[in-house]
Structures are given as C-alpha cells and as structure tokens.
Structure 1
Amino acid sequence: MTVDERPCWVGTKRKTNPKTNNEGFSVLKLSKEFARNTSIHGLKFIAQDHTSLLERIFWIILFLVGLFFALFFAWNLWDNWVQSPVLITIQTVNYPIKSYPFPAVTICSVNKVSTRALGEWMATEEAKDFKVNEIRRILEIMSTGLNWVENEGEFAVLGPLLLKANISSNDNKYEKLMKKLSPNCSKTIVFCSWEGLEEDCADLFVTQTADDGCCCSFNSVIIQRDSDTYLNNQQNRLRHARTSGVQAGLTVLLDAELDDYNVTSSSIDGFKVSIQDPMDFPQTSRKGFLASPGFQINAAVTGYTQRADDKLRVIDLKKRLCTTSQEITLKYFKNYTRPYCQLDCLTRFFLAECFCVPYYFPEAKKEIDSNVCYCPDVCTTVWYKSEISTGTFPNSVWEYPPTVIDRPEFRNMNKSDLKIYAKKNFVKLNVYFQWVTGLCYIMKERTTWSDFLSATGGLLGLGFGFSIISAAEIFYFFLVRWCFRWYQSKKQEPPSSPPVPKLIHVRPFATSAPASITGDNYMISQSQMDADLALVDSKIKANIEQNLSPTCNCNNPLLRR
C-alpha cells in the first residue's frame, strides 16, 4: 500500500487593497526616503538597500564627524559674539587735530599753603581763635591727605576749632579758605602764550579745585556748585590747535616761589602737571608728571579719538563696556565722563561711611544711598598721550619777556639777580601737538545677524552640506508629506476588514485500507474520502465568493477542481 506522506495545507489570505495600506504612513519609510533624496551629504549612502553594514557604519561616523565639526565652530562663533560683541578698529591714522579740542592742562603747585597768604589770613577776625601751628596742622590734613589724625586727642582739639570758626567741608567755606591760602594763579603763572602769541594769563587759566588741591586749569570745562547739583560750566569756549609744533601750542612760565612754601604735598619742589580731556575731572595727584624749577619741559601730545556706531545702543551695557550720551545719569554732574562718575561714586561712599566729603568733592545736601557704582568709559571720547622731554632752563643768553621783567616782584632785579632767581624758581612748560593728525578708532558691532548667518551657513555647508534647501527638505518630508499621507490613510481606510479563515489541514491518506492504525495514518473508506473532498471544495468556493484567494501547498490531484 502506497501512502503519500506529503501533508496538504489549504490556506486563505485576504486580498490586499493598496489604497488602504498604512506603510506610507510609516516614519521609518519616510526617513529612508528622505535620506535617499536629501541634499545633506552622506545620508543617501546610509539608506541605500544594498549597502553593507561596514559601509553604513563608515558613513554614519563620517556624517557625525562633519556634524560635530560644523556645530563646534558655529558654537564658538556664537559664544565669541555673545561674550565680546564690540569690535574696535582703526578708522584712520590721518584724523585732523582740528576735529577735537586741545587738551586741558592742569598745573598744581606742590605747595598747598602760601606763607604770605596764611599770614594775611591770620590777621583777620575769622582766625582769631587759631594758633599758627593748629591751622597749619588742619590744612596739612585737609589739603594733602598725609599724616592723618591717628588719635582721639588730636581730633578732639582740632574738630571744635573748625566748628567754632564755622568752617566745614560740607559747605563751600572750607573751599573758599583753601583758595585764599593756596598759591594764587596770577602769582604762579608769570607768562603765557598761545599759538606763538602772548596772551593775558587770566584769560587762559582759571582756578579749579582738583584731587591735588587748588590748581590752575587751561582749556578745561570747570565744574561749579549750585544749590543742589554740581554743574558743568560750558561758558568757556574750548580751544583747538590749527597745526602742530611748539609755536602752535601753549607756552607758560611758572614761578615756584620756593620761599613761600608752607605746607607741601610732596618732597620735591615745583609742580605737578596733568594733560587730559577738557571734559574730564583733573586727577593730577595720580596721573600728573613733575615739573621742577630750573628745567624746561616739553610735552609733545598725540591725540586719539574714538567714535561709536549708533547701533551699539542695542548691545547690553555690561557687554558693550562703554556708555553713550544720556545713558547713565549722575547725581552731582550734568555730563557723564568716567572721572566724574568715579567722583560721584566716591561721594556716595564717603557720605555712607564717613558722613562727610573732601572739600573738592560735590556738595552733598541730600540723602545718598550707597549703591555700587558702575563707571564705564564713554564710547565716543578723546584721550591724549604725552612724550615728555626736559632740559636745563634758562641758559645764559635767554631773553626774558618784557611782561616778566615788568612784574612788580622782578622790577627791581637786575639781569644777574633775575637769572639766579629763575634758576631756582622758574619752570618753562610747552604743551603742543606732535603731529598734525591723530588716530581715530571706530567702535562697532563685532558681528551682525547677517554676518553670523553667513559664517554659520558656511560652517554647516562645509561640515555636512546643510543649507536652506536642506531645512526645506526636512520640513517637507517630516511635516508636509507625513501629514498628507496620514490624512490619506485615514480617508481611504475601509470601515472593517473581513475575518481571515482558519487553515485546513488534510492529513495523508492511503489508497487501500491498512490492516491497522499506526501513528498519524489511519484507514478511510471511499465514501468518507469523497465526503471530505466535497467539504473542502465547498469551503474553497465560499472563500472565492468572499474575494479570498485559496492557497495549497499540496500537489495531490484529488484536491484539484
């Protein structure tokens, strides 16, 4: 008896409608499609169907290296822009000197108290309660900042004397007293010339209180007190030099009057001179240079200008590191400069800690808080650098100007005596521009948005080929196309799917009945076999009527229709 051992499977499979297939809605499929078609470098080699695993790994690593390279340098570019948004460059080295004012010249004698002036004041009613050594000690403390009061006993003696004389640094009485006792500018400056022409020194110099006492200032915007604030005096027109050289600058002859010394701020004889922006507060004690008797001092000045772009105001003040006009308001000064801001800040500090201020500080009548001060430079400003040279003065044949010879204190001197006096007391000072042009710097934004986008786009393109088109591709594939396919899949999906029928397993059968049943083989009558085939045939017909395709992996001709 021959038995066909091949099993026969009759299966059914639902006919698929391509319009209802959700594979088009797959993110993975969209990602592969994007990688194959995008302009970004390297992705198409990763997504190709026939690419080996080793090749995929190679291109993935290469793509990540390019991505890291581009993002790293783009981040450095951004960080540099954020941390240092301002760039200062040289605009021109031929900026004419007539475009900015001649520098302010402040001359301070190291002698703070004139012996002659002190004697005259001691004879007044105001000084009747003072002894010479007491007022001298007070003036030494208040005018020089040296030898501070170190014990309560001295403070207990000197304090009441000032109160009894109604002299206080909280008003302008002490300032007036200092101006009375300090060397007078008309005595100190004996000759003046501007641009080679002699001028009256009273028209060029004014007395100004500075950090080194009462001084004589030329071409400076003088600060003055009023009832509430410390205003800038803008009445004096600032002078401009028309050319360079000694003959086109300022020349002064100074008399140190060594015999009139009483209280000095230094161990040397002579003067301290500072050269600064006319709008700045003179800081002669910290930034001045020395001018000693018996010497001629030439100060060759070079001017530097810095101009700021108007667009800088959009940058934060702390990042910009400079201020524009009217951006910071001071309490005691109308116009902002860094030295005035520092002085304004010190006034707040002294009032908070000591309840008083030095006599040359602004008059403080209002309550002041002790907020921390921030004093950046002005974005548009002028500053000066000086080259100092000296030589002995005067020589044996120098002719003294008639203005000097005709002064009352020198009128009775012969040339020999005047020469001896000049060697001991005279200082000649020349301040002039060294060049007819100066340097002009321009302050502007380091990077604009257009510059940043250009540089970043170049880095991204160099690293992995990213561009605006690449961004549009990402937007299209993962938003527009994804949403469109999702909508189409929802629109075309049928309401329900027919059930998949179970598979029919027809076991092997024999053409003749065996003697016994062994394992999975069993005897079956001819009538039973015909009934089973009829049942299979009916199920196949039913599946066909339901648009289902019958499948069978059995080649038995008995199962064929």
Structure 2
Amino acid sequence: MERQSRSKSFGNVRDNDLKTNIESTAIDNVKIKRARLSSSIKQYLTDYTTNSNLHGLKYIGEKERTLVEKIFWLIMFTCCVVCCALLIRKVWEKWNYSPVIVSFAESSTPVFKIPYPAVTLCPETNVMQTVFNYTKYSHLYVNNFEKQNITLEEARLVEDVSLICWKNHYAPLNGRNFSHGNETVENIKKISPKIEDVMVDVSIWKSKYLSLSSFLPILTEEGYCYTFNTIDADQLLRVENLNTDYNYLEPSNKSHTWTLENGYSPKTPLETYPHRGPGHGENTGLILILKVTNQDCDFLCSGPTQGFKILLHSPAEFPRLSQQFFRVPLGRDISVAVTPKMMTTSEGLSNYSAFRRQCYFPYERYLKYFKVYTQTNCETECLTNFTYAKCGCVHFAMPHGPDMRLCSVGKRNCMDDARMELITIEIQNELDDTMHADDIKREALRVAINCQCLPSCTSIDYGEEISQGNFNVEAVANAYNLSFNKEKQGDSYTQVKIYFKEAQFIKVQRSELYGQTDFLANCGGLLGLFLGFSILSVVEILYFLTLRIYCLCWSSRQNKKCNYLKKDIE
C-alpha cells in the first residue's frame, strides 16, 4: 500500500515538473519573440531614419551619434513639425473661410452694355381726396361708427386705404383682421392717382417724347406706383405660383434678350428691352415733369411731406419702396447722375459653397414667387413667408400664393412688428430662449433662419448723385407767352432728369484668393522650408509602411525554407 502511494506521489511530481518546464519554455519563447520583434522594429526605424530625405532624421538614426545628439535632433525635428503644422493651419483657415477676394476689373465697361435702371415712381399723394376723402371718413369711422354715420362700404374703403397710408396714430386698428384680395386691390386702385394725374405728357427719353404708357402700374406697399424699364411680369414672377385675384405688375408684352447673369446677347440691337444705357449726360437719359394737384392732397393719409418717391433698381428686381428710395420735393428741378455698381463672380468660385463665396449663382437658389434670384427678391419672398408664419396673413402687395389670406387693418401692427423682427431676427435668436416659445414663434423663427438671402453672384446697383434747383413752370410759361390754365395754377410741378454720369464704369469682381493649387503650393513651401518634405517623402513613407515590410517578410520566409531544407539534407 505504501509503495503504491509513493509511486503515485512520484508520478505527480514528475507531471508538475513537466508542466512547469513547458510553461517556462513557452514564456521564454514569448520573450524571445518580443525581443526579436522589438529589435526588428528598432532596426526598421533606424533604417528609415538613416535613409529618409527629411531633414534631421538621419542624425537620430545613426548609431555613432551620442544620446545627447539624438535628443537634440529629436527636439529640433519636433519643433519644426509643430511650427509647420501651426502655419499650415493658418493657411487652411484663410483658404477655407475667406477664399474670395474682391477687386476692380482690369478694364472699364461701357454703359451701353448694361441696362438703364428701372425707374419706379410713387406719388406721396397715394389717395386722391377728390375721389375719396380719407380724412373725413376716417374720423367718421373712428368716432361715429357705432352711430351708423358711415356705410359699410365706406368703412371697408377706410380699412383698405389705411394699409397704404402714412403711419399715423389715428389709423383705425380695430377693424377686421382679414380681407378679400380682389376687393381690397380694387378699392386701392379706385382712389389711387393715374399716371396722367402725376405726370405731364411731355416726358423725354433720349431726346424724344415718351408715351405715358411706357410706365406700367405696379403694386407696392405704398399702393399703386409706376415703373419704367422693368422686365415683363412673366419674366420676373412665377405667375403659376401666385394668386390670380389681381396682377402685381401689369404685363408689357415685351420680349427681352437680357439676363442678369449673362447680360445682352452679342447680336442684340441698340434699341431693345430693357433699354440699354444710351450714354452719359442729360440729353441721353429720362426727363420727367411730375405734378401734384393740391386739391387731391390728403395729409392724414400721406403725412406732412408731399412730392414723390423714386427708386432706381435693376430691371430684374421687384421694387421695395419701404427700404430704398430718394425723395423728390415739389417745385424743384432734380438732376440725378447715376453711377452703376456692378459685381461679377469668376467661374472658378462655382466649386465653392455659396456661404464660402457669399453669393448665389442663379441655378443655386430657387424662389417660389420669382424667376430671377436677387437679394431683394429673396428678401421680399422671405418677408411674405415670415409675415404669414407670424400673423396668419400677408400684405396685399406681397407676392403670395393662392392659399394665403390677406391682412387687414386689424393685423397692421402684426405686419409692422414682423417687418422689424425679420431685420433683427439673428440678434433675437441669440438673446431669446426659443425652447419655451410658442409654436407660432418657433415657426416664424424657422422661416427667418431659412431665408439666408445672400447677394446674387452677378448684381447691378445704381448709385445716385442728386442736385437740385428751383423750378417755376408759371414763370417760364409767361416768358414764352404761353397760356397757363387758371385751373392748373394751384398745381405743383417738379422736373426730374435721370442720366448716367459717365460713359464708362469699373466693374468689381469676385475671384479666388487661394485656389486649390495655391493652397497646395503654400503648404508644400512650408513643408519644404521646415522639413525638406516633398511628394517623394510621402512615397517614401508609404514604401516603408507597405512594400518594404512585405519584401522583408517574404525574404524571411524564404530564409526559413532554406534552413529547413539544409536540416533535411543533413
């Protein structure tokens, strides 16, 4: 029994020793493999640093160099890498955030290559008191509406006319919130002055008489105005998306060969539409004699100022008189010298995003109500959408779809607030907590943020230089022994001359500040200056990471096979 137990113990000891020997052998093999791998990697890195064409690396890999020298060159190489990376980052930021440079064109452009400005004329007397006494009926509406001293038709007319009157505290704001488009526009049209009521039929264009029919009625926030040289409504507006109750711009039925981005086609004749810039000087422009019948002035509606508002704009823009205009007083001779300001964009910027170049090409931005993209058209459409989101209705002069209701005087404050909020929406977005806002405010904010009305990549503006003097029609008529109708002696007249100041102008153009080639050249110059880096350096790194490793492994396998064959032979 004892022998058996001893034999078993002896067997267990041998088994334990065997296991220990196997484990120790395995550990030793792992250590050997790790040592070999570490030695191979070290040898591999030494091989790369010794043979690399990057400055400073060979001193790190050379065996005869002392440790101090190697540390010195490692620090210097690291500093060069960091400095080079910081400078390349600055170059990238400049290329990414400001890739556009705005410069003057190398040669001047004749004014006949661009259109004459569209002239939109709005009389301050937008309500003819001889047709409808707004002052009288407005007082009746406010003070005696409950006493039935005003008919329902007259009350509706007061409400509709108040939408285009000068902002006064007496305007009725307790009326209806919504109105019918065709009814409102018909009421506005009925009391608005006609073109023959505000302009004498002796207008001159390029030293020739101009028919008053050349001035087309256009619906604006000021009521009915008249525009000259604006492209046809079918070319400016997407009529298929607009309401059909009334026209915003009366059709002219004139075809045109001009586009904002391409200008006039090469074979376009001198007389075309929109009219070309004919030249410079008073005799080559537009001369208008405007008039105001004093009996038609309604100061409660028009305010303290009488005269006209004139806006010069691109023929492809829908006028916004509330934003830009110059005022023409009565009894004056106004001379308006126009200096064009044209901005173009090189095709090299088409590959950049619109926000990097800060403009839209015509094919990049779709407008629902306008066929031509301009910043003004975009802002007009944006104001329509924002007002509808905030108030549930829009002003009758805003281009809008058939499913949108029209605001009446009850929503006038809301429309005014929407116009102001849209201007300051970015600041409000930073200050307000929209998480706790109601659904209407969040929807309005969403519409405003989606506007993003950048300028058009090709745009034309018309700067004005205005001078004036006295204009006495009656004295001139007496000097020429002309009969002056006594009925017209109470009228006030003014003359406006609009012409190009010079025969040529200098365009401004956007172009690439840094193209891709320039960016690569700058980066390559910095890499070469600090590190001696080149394209072959990239190839060298790829070679050491791929092909050289593969070749070394393949050579190692071949050597092992040869060793096995030698052992077998022996």
TM exceeding 0.5 = yes
Aligned 8 A contact 2:288 2:496 in 1: yes
Which amino acid in 1 is paired with 2:338?
V
Q: Quick check: 94-103 or 250-259, which moved more?
A: 250-259
Provide the aligned length of Structure 1 versus Structure 2. Answer: 450
Counterpart in the other structure of 1:81:
95
Alpha carbons of structure 1 residues 135 and 171: separation in structure 2 relative to 1, 3 Å: closer
Instruction: Give, in angstroms, the shift of residue 363 of structure 1.
Output: 4.4
Q: Deviations over 1:294-340 (max 9, x none)?
A: 22222111112222334444322333332222332222223322222
1:478 aligns with 2:478: no
Alpha carbons of structure 1 residues 23 and 280: separation in structure 2 relative to 1, 3 Å: closer
Could you say which structure has the higher strand fraction? 1
1:129-140 matches, within 5 Å, as 130=151, 134=155, 137-140=158-161
Question: 2:307 is matched with which residue: 243, 262, 270?
Answer: 270
Which amino acid in 1 is paired with 2:345?
A
Q: Quick check: 68-77 or 42-51, which moved more?
A: 42-51
Aligned 8 A contact 2:232 2:253 in 1: no
Q: Deviations over 1:446-478 (max 9, x none)?
A: 433222211111111112110012112222233
d(CA) in 2 for partners of 1:227 and 1:483? 67
Question: 1:379 is matched with which residue: 457, 473, 478?
Answer: 457
Aligned 8 A contact 2:333 2:471 in 1: yes
d(CA) in 2 for partners of 1:395 and 1:70? 76
1:321 aligns with 2:358: yes
Question: 2:185 is matched with which residue: 158, 175, 193?
Answer: 175
Counterpart in the other structure of 2:282:
246
Which amino acid in 2 is paired with 1:264?
C
Higher relative contact order (CA 8 A, sep 6+): 1
Could you say which structure has the higher helix fraction? 2
Instruction: Give, in angstroms, the shift of residue 81 of structure 1.
Output: 2.1
Counterpart in the other structure of 1:104:
118
d(CA) in 2 for partners of 1:97 and 1:234? 24
Q: Secondary structure in 1 aligned to 2:130? A: helix
Alpha carbons of structure 1 residues 80 and 399: separation in structure 2 relative to 1, 3 Å: farther
Counterpart in the other structure of 2:227:
217
Instruction: Give, in angstroms, the shift of residue 25 of structure 1.
Output: 7.8
Counterpart in the other structure of 1:143:
164
Counterpart in the other structure of 1:390:
468
Instruction: Give, in angstroms, the shift of residue 119 of structure 1.
Output: 6.5
Gaps spanning 5+ residues in structure 2: where? 1-34, 137-148, 255-272, 406-442, 565-569
Counterpart in the other structure of 1:521:
none
Aligned 8 A contact 1:256 1:426 in 2: yes
d(CA) in 1 for partners of 2:153 and 2:61? 100
Instruction: Give, in angstroms, the shift of residue 193 of structure 1.
Output: 0.8
d(CA) in 1 for partners of 2:171 and 2:474? 50
Which amino acid in 2 is paired with 1:336?
Y
Q: Secondary structure in 1 aligned to 2:181? A: coil
Counterpart in the other structure of 2:242:
229
Percentage of identical aligned residues:
26
Alpha carbons of structure 1 residues 47 and 200: separation in structure 2 relative to 1, 3 Å: same
Instruction: Give, in angstroms, the shift of residue 412 of structure 1.
Output: 4.8
Aligned 8 A contact 1:272 1:285 in 2: no
d(CA) in 1 for partners of 2:93 and 2:85? 12
d(CA) in 2 for partners of 1:250 and 1:359? 31
1:260 aligns with 2:296: yes
Instruction: Give, in angstroms, the shift of residue 388 of structure 1.
Output: 1.6
Instruction: Give, in angstroms, the shift of residue 219 of structure 1.
Output: 1.1
Aligned 8 A contact 1:35 1:47 in 2: yes
Q: Quick check: 234-243 or 100-109, which moved more?
A: 234-243
1:295 aligns with 2:336: no
Alpha carbons of structure 1 residues 105 and 150: separation in structure 2 relative to 1, 3 Å: closer
Which amino acid in 2 is paired with 1:320?
R
**Which of the pair has more CA radius of gyration?**
1
1:440 aligns with 2:507: yes
1:154-165 matches, within 5 Å, as 155=174, 158-159=175-176
1:192 aligns with 2:259: no
Aligned 8 A contact 1:115 1:261 in 2: yes
Counterpart in the other structure of 2:318:
281
Aligned 8 A contact 2:161 2:188 in 1: no
Aligned 8 A contact 1:93 1:437 in 2: no
Counterpart in the other structure of 2:21:
none
1:57-96 matches, within 5 Å, as 57-92=71-106, 94-96=108-110
Q: Deviations over 1:503-555 (max 9, x none)?
A: xxxxxxxxxxxxxxxxxxxxxxxxxxxxxxxxxxxxxxxxxxxx9xxxxxxxx
Which amino acid in 2 is paired with 1:55?
E
Aligned 8 A contact 2:126 2:223 in 1: yes
d(CA) in 2 for partners of 1:333 and 1:433? 28
Aligned 8 A contact 1:333 1:340 in 2: yes
Q: Deviations over 1:115-152 (max 9, x none)?
A: 122279x9xxxxx973898467425521126247898x
d(CA) in 2 for partners of 1:431 and 1:267? 26
d(CA) in 2 for partners of 1:38 and 1:401? 97
Which amino acid in 2 is paired with 1:286?
Q
Q: Secondary structure in 2 aligned to 1:284? A: coil
Alpha carbons of structure 1 residues 227 and 78: separation in structure 2 relative to 1, 3 Å: closer
Which amino acid in 2 is paired with 1:469?
L
Counterpart in the other structure of 1:541:
none
Counterpart in the other structure of 1:202:
213
- TM-score, normalised to structure 1, is 0.71
Cα root mean square deviation, aligned: 3.7
Q: Deviations over 1:132-180 (max 9, x none)?
A: 98467425521126247898xx62xx439xxxxxxx7542331122122
Which amino acid in 2 is paired with 1:143?
I
Counterpart in the other structure of 1:493:
560
Q: Quick check: 29-38 or 427-436, which moved more?
A: 29-38
Question: 1:467 is matched with which residue: 534, 542, 547?
Answer: 534
Instruction: Give, in angstroms, the shift of residue 38 of structure 1.
Output: 1.9
Instruction: Give, in angstroms, the shift of residue 60 of structure 1.
Output: 2.4
1:305 aligns with 2:342: yes
Aligned 8 A contact 1:192 1:251 in 2: yes
Instruction: Give, in angstroms, the shift of residue 288 of structure 1.
Output: 0.8
Aligned 8 A contact 1:169 1:358 in 2: no
1:33-44 matches, within 5 Å, as 33-44=47-58
Aligned 8 A contact 1:22 1:489 in 2: no
Instruction: Give, in angstroms, the shift of residue 397 of structure 1.
Output: 6.6
d(CA) in 2 for partners of 1:214 and 1:271? 13
